[in-house]
Amino acid sequence: MKRFSFLVAGLIFLVTMEACKKWEDHIALPEQQLSETLMEHIKKDPQLSSFARYVEQTGLDSLLGSSKNITVFAPANDALASLPGSITSDPAQLKALLKNHISTNAYFTRNAVDSLRVPLLNGKKVFFIAKKFDDANITESDIYVRNGVLHKIDKAIVPLQSVWEYILYTKSSFLQNNYISTLNYIGQDPNLAELDSINPATGEPVYKPGTGIVNINTFKTKVLDVANEDSLFTYILLTDDAFNAEKARLQPYFNGANADTANSNASWVTVKDFAIRGLYTEAHLPAVLESKFGVKIAMNRSSIVSVKKLSNGIAYIMNASGISVQEKIPVVYIEGETPYSFSVPSSATIFYRERMNPLTGTAFKDIYLNMGSSGANRYVSYYTNQLYTTKYKVYLMSLNDKVVSPQADGTYGTDSTLNHTVRIFNRQADTLALRFENSVNVTANTYTEFYLGEFTNDEYNWLLSYPASSPSGVAYTLNPATRYIRVAAPATATGRPFNLTMNYLKFEPVF
């Protein structure tokens, strides 16, 4: 009871202190000011007469005279005098400008920290730091009236485009933005679709077919939603010459039956790494940025042509991509513990093991198929969509040893040399066509990769910019670019088991 009493007393103290702070804000001002609305106070201030006039012209005076809790960052007359006639004579643009200075929440300078972005009436957010509102200086602050807070500033802050709005606005000026603007497909938006039922097995909502159908852009769904004003982004935009040069450099890695598909894939691989989460200003631009996909981008300052400030980030227009081909066409790993399917005898036992490499001390997971004497020609299957049209060196990491069972019922594994055959197929019609086959003896207690040979992938017949599934919900997981892989036991094995074990397969591009 004593502990509870102290807790209650503490809470009462905190609430009381906050109430006192709010009361101090009130009593620090003339009593008459507390009876005024924002609109009434602004109209009485001769330094804000232009702002007051524009507010009345656009019909926003009713909001500033309402009972809502509002913050206004009001530019002084001198600041508004420099506005171009294209804004002041256009009611829509003028209203958009004024909304960029009004928030429907109360913000004092004591709230202003580096991370604070004030949500504004037009859906944008602007940094409010100490005595600054974006680039404007706050000349008078924390003027507390009946329905909110007023700050006077020395500059009008014109609404900025978001990264997405900038992409669409400049699509006729930049080939890169034009390409991104075309990446649309028809899909169902759950926020607009009509709920039909709840799937009893998964608990997921099921929406009525044909409802909430909208155009969706793949760049926003597969890369980053750069239209989101709640987040900050750094966007890299190549000049047309640089964009074409980058596409030409990458296109040989996406050869296929259709030249348009190869061209589109080269375009996609060029742009997919150019939206980075986070705001990196010129003053704090690192030498290397990293994309969502782990691709490293060298930000060579000599390649920056110009910089564009945006409402939810920044854009760097560059005349070189800053990305090596090794980053774009990476080493591909297929992990043993993520199989696609099995062909094993009913007596087989499959173990997913957590292991430790004794030479490096590195933890890893693998798969172990204990098939004994009945596993001839049996296999475990995998697939990948990440092998592009180039030559790869193929390696198998397979740890063959004895391990103490986690069930404490002895050991499993073998001291025998195991034989593994790796086969790679692509699908032709309803059959799998063999494209690579090689075998290796997996010797006991060998903690290094086994080299299998070279595999050349000669076609890539799928659009990388496609969404994960069709509008009807059919997954595109397996597609014409998919390569199917089997790790198989031998047909015969004298005096040793048909067991299989795999940590990973590695495909290393040959440049």
DSSP tag of 253: G
Exposed, middle or buried by CB within 10 Å (0-12, 13-18, 19+), for 257?
exposed
Q: What is the pLDDT of residue 411?
A: 67
Indicate the SS3 state at residue 379: strand
Domain boundaries, the chain: 18-153, 163-241+275-324, 332-509
pLDDT tens digits, 94-115? 999 999 999 999 999 998 887 8
One-letter amino acid for residue 145 of the chain: V
Higher pLDDT, 499 or 113: 499
Say yes or no to pLDDT of 413 above 60.
yes
Query: Using 50, 70 and 90 to split pLDDT, how confident is the model at 357?
Result: confident
d(CA 348, CA 333): 26
pLDDT tens digits, 111-154? 888 789 999 999 999 999 989 999 999 999 999 999 999 999 99
pTM, entire model: 0.86
Cβ proximity of 417 and 493 under 8 Å: no
| Beta strand residue intervals within 104-135, DSSP E | 117-119, 125-129, 132-133
Mean pLDDT of 405-430: 82
Residue 14 host element (H or E): helix 2-27
Across the strands, what pairs with 213? 188
Q: What is the pLDDT of residue 414?
A: 81
Residue 224 host element (H or E): none
Whose CA is closest to 158, among 98, 106, 202? 98
Same fold, 18-153 and 332-509: no
d(CA 405, CA 394): 31
* Residue whose entry in the numeric block shows the structure tokens 């005096």: 495
pLDDT tens digits, 258-276? 999 999 999 999 999 999 9
Q: What is the pLDDT of residue 408?
A: 61
Question: Cα 279 from chain centroid?
Answer: 14
| Structure-token pair, residue 442 | 């997996």
Q: What is the pLDDT of residue 356?
A: 84
d(CA 366, CA 447): 13
Indicate the SS3 state at residue 302: helix
Q: Which residues contact 358 (CB under 8 A, 6 or more apart)?
A: 447
CATH number corresponding to 332-509:
2.60.120.260
d(CA 452, CA 439): 7
Query: Using 50, 70 and 90 to split pLDDT, how confident is the model at 1?
Result: very low
Mean pLDDT of 61-74: 95
18-153 to CATH, choices 2.50.20.20, 2.30.180.10, 1.10.10.10, 3.40.50.2300: 2.30.180.10
Query: Using 50, 70 and 90 to split pLDDT, how confident is the model at 469?
Result: confident
Q: Which string of DSSP letters, residue by residue, matches 413-478? A: E-SS-EEEEEEEEEEETTEEEEEEEEEEEE-TT--SPEEEEEEE-----S-TTS-SB-TT--B-SS
One-letter amino acid for residue 231 of the chain: S
Exposed, middle or buried by CB within 10 Å (0-12, 13-18, 19+), for 435?
middle
Which of 199-213, 386-400, 487-501 is the most confident on average?
A: 386-400
Round the average pLDDT of the chain to a whole number and report it: 91
pLDDT tens digits, 447-464? 889 999 999 999 999 999
d(CA 269, CA 263): 10
Mean pLDDT of 477-493: 95
Strands 313-318 and 102-103: unpaired
Say yes or no to pLDDT of 256 above 80.
yes
DSSP tag of 162: P
Q: What is the Cα gyration radius of the chain? A: 32
Query: Using 50, 70 and 90 to split pLDDT, how confident is the model at 409?
Result: low
Across the strands, what pairs with 296? 290
d(CA 114, CA 458): 52
Q: What angle do CA 490, 496, 500 make, to 5 degrees?
A: 50
Task: Give Cα separations from 267 to 215, 227, 300 (angstroms).
Answer: 21, 21, 22
Cβ proximity of 492 and 424 under 8 Å: no
